[in-house]
């Protein structure tokens, strides 16, 4: 049954991805509203060959809307999501505004689709790094409970939106032309450099991105005591996050068992060619739905074959944001 859809934050990187994926997956759209800040009013947005005016996001934007896809930032989600719900829409929110609210489901459809039905008008989309990690480790956790997870992320600049990608490209040109790089979006030079993820550091020394991954994974897996630690790093890649994941299981687990579990796992593709040293790269994951997994090997520092190392790459604008939200919408149908 076709739905009346609104996209809040349509001019941003994720908003643009929403449009692309709605078209590609032929989501049943009866009508669509393109919503953004006042500065975008006057622009048009094409959807299925037709131009739609970009309207200002306000509390009165949601009359008749049934599904509202939000990617306009946490502040705007807090400001406008309740108005959308009051108008009768189900909000699928891509920001951090509602993720840790105990009354709001936080969903990765390959992991906990049953939580969708618990919504009271708002469903939260997890952080991109969380989604990319959760998709491949969930089938392993179901088969053999994970006791401890150690994650190091290598995050593309598009995680900071279009401005992040623009800054990387501009700085690369400046440096290659012998000029000093201009820093606007990031505090430090990103071209030909890496640095700790550009989110606030808490009193415990962890940044917000690392804390999100820990808390969100525990909530999605319904494992409040799972031992998880993270290190999140920003790298000079336009699109797609990579993650090194070390897992300690309750019982023994071999690389062959892992491959067998992941070969047919939803949302997962394997690239694990040891002979050619060929494993997942951002260029594999870009514009693709799946999370790519490889470098599957035993952690030989743990006894009884209870440890496994993985390397994953996923498109954080697509599966890490827009696609995950639209998959939730498809489940709502």
C-alpha of 151 from chain center: 15
Q: Contact, 163 vs 183, CB < 8 A?
A: no
Retrieve residue 326's tokens: 């639209």
What digits encode the pLDDT tens for the residues 239-293?
A: 999 999 999 999 999 999 999 999 999 999 999 999 999 999 999 999 999 999 9
pTM listed for this prediction: 0.95
Angle at 84 between CA 81 and CA 90, to 5 degrees: 90
From 128, 230, 240, 242, active-site residue: 128
How many angstroms from the chain centroid is the CA of residue 142? 22
Closest Cα to residue 76, out of 6, 3, 159? 6
Of 123, 89, 326, 78, the closest CA to residue 220 belongs to 123
pLDDT of residue 162: 86
Going along the chain from its start, the domains and CATH numbers come out as 3-126+321-332 (3.40.50.720), 130-316 (3.30.360.10)
Residue by residue, pLDDT tens for the chain (333 residues) are: 899 999 999 999 899 999 999 999 999 999 999 999 999 999 999 999 999 999 999 999 999 999 999 999 999 999 999 999 999 999 999 999 999 999 999 999 999 999 999 999 999 999 999 999 999 999 999 999 999 999 999 999 998 888 999 999 999 999 999 999 999 999 999 999 999 999 999 999 999 999 999 999 999 999 999 999 999 999 999 999 999 999 999 999 999 999 999 999 999 999 999 999 999 999 999 999 999 999 999 999 999 999 999 999 999 999 999 999 999 999 999
- CA angle, 275 then 280 then 143, to 5°: 95
Residue 241 bears catalytic tag = yes
The per-residue pLDDT for 239 is 94
> Which residue out of 141, 197, 241, 242 is catalytically annotated?
241
Is 242 catalytic? The answer is no
């Amino acid at each position: 049954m076709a739905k009346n859809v609104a996209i809040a934050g349509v001019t941003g990187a994720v908003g643009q991805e929403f449009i692309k994926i709605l078209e590609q997956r032929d989501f049943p759209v009866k009508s669509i509203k393109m919503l953004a800040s006042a500065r975008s009013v006057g622009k048009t947005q094409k959807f299925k060959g037709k131009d739609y005016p970009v309207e200002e996001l306000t509390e009165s934007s949601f009359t008749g809307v049934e599904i509202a896809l939000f990617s306009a930032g946490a502040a705007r989600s807090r400001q406008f999501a309740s108005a959308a719900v009051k108008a009768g829409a189900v909000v699928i929110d891509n920001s951090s505004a509602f993720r840790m609210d105990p009354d709001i489901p936080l969903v990765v459809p390959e992991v906990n689709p049953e939580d969708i039905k618990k919504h009271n008008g708002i469903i939260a989309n997890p952080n991109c790094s969380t989604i990319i990690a959760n998709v491949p480790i969930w089938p392993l956790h179901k088969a053999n409970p994970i006791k401890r997870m150690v994650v190091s992320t290598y995050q593309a600049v598009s995680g900071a939106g279009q401005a992040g990608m623009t800054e990387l490209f501009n700085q690369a040109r400046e440096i290659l032309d012998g000029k000093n790089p201009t820093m606007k979006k990031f505090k430090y030079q990103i071209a030909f450099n890496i640095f700790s993820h550009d989110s606030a550091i808490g009193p415990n020394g962890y940044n917000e991105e690392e804390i999100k991954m820990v808390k969100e994974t525990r909530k999605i897996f319904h494992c409040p005591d799972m031992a998880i630690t993270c290190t999140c790093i920003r790298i000079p890649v336009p699109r797609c996050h990579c993650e090194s994941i070390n897992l300690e299981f309750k019982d023994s687990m071999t690389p062959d068992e892992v491959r067998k579990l992941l070969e047919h796992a939803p949302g997962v593709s394997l690239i694990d060619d040891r002979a050619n040293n060929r494993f997942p790269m951002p260029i594999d994951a870009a514009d693709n739905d799946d999370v790519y997994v490889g470098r599957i090997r035993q952690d030989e520092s743990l006894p009884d074959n209870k440890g496994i190392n993985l390397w994953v790459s996923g498109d954080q604008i697509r599966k890490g944001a827009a696609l995950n939200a639209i998959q939730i919408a498809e489940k709502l149908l």
